[in-house]
Amino acid sequence: MKTSIGCAVLSVSDSRTLETDTSGALAESRLFALGHECVARVVVPDSAEAIVAQLERWRDDPSVDVVVTTGGTGMTARDVTPDAVARLGTKRVEGFGELFRWLSFEEIGSSTVQSRADAWLCGRVLVFVLPGSTGAVRLAFDRILDEQLNPNHKPCNFVALLPRIRGEAP
């Protein structure tokens, strides 16, 4: 089984750059810490078209297995990341958003209902949609992704599932 996967980080923001994007940098460093290769890190504006265009490139790139997005998960008109990802989604990872909000409730209380954190399978690529704060990215990795992107986590994990998603294993 392949234990290192190709990952990409997509930060959605009208105000951040690669240099000021602490959430994307944190996601990238956590993926490296898990032993994965971060093949790309990009910042795009809060635009469904920009998000979809970048995700389509990565969906069609065989070196990308997982995408972590940060930002654009709130309730305002400019918060379109979950909607853009859903346009490309082939299967929703139903429990991810619910678990994220449940865990987030411990830290920020009822304000967690304003988050539209989500996860989708987009073709053969898993896409995790995280809020843009570093605290949210840290929570997602500390409590969910560190285990689910660890090929040794039992009883199951996304890394072990990827070959079956791609049709490479029974």
Would residue 14 count as lying in a domain? Answer: yes
Confidence category of residue 131, pLDDT binned at 50, 70, 90:
very high
Q: Is residue 132 part of a domain?
A: yes
Q: Rounded CA gap, 144 and 146, in Å?
A: 6
Query: Is residue 49 included in any domain, yes or no?
Result: yes
Residue-range definition of the domain harbouring residue 116: 6-165
pLDDT at 22: 98
pLDDT (mean) for 143-162: 96
What is the reported pLDDT for 142?
Answer: 98
- The verdict on residue 170 lying in a domain is no
Q: Are 131 and 70 in contact (CB under 8 A)?
A: yes
- Residue 105, domain CATH: 3.40.980.10
CA dihedral 138, 141, 144, 145 (to 10 degrees): 160
Residues 167, 8: contact at Cβ < 8 Å?
Answer: no
The pTM assigned to this predicted structure is 0.96
Q: 55 lies in a domain?
A: yes
Tokens 């069609």 correspond to 60
* In a domain? residue 150: yes
Tell me the two tokens of residue 28: 């990238």
47-57 pLDDT tens trace: 999 999 999 99
Contact (Cβ atoms closer than 8 angstroms) between residue 149 and residue 36:
yes
Number of domains in the chain: 1
**Is residue 67 in some structural domain?**
yes
pLDDT, averaged across the chain? 95
**pLDDT confidence tier of residue 3, bands split at 50, 70 and 90:** confident
Whether 164 shows a pLDDT value over 70: the answer reads: yes
The band of 168, judged by pLDDT with boundaries at 50, 70 and 90, is confident
Residue 170 confidence (pLDDT) above 80:
no
| Residue 112 neighbours by CB distance under 10 Å | 18
Tell me what the mean pLDDT of segment 13-37 comes to.
97
Q: What is the pLDDT of residue 167?
A: 85
1 is a domain residue: no
Out of 35-39, 120-124, 134-138, 165-169, least confident range: 165-169
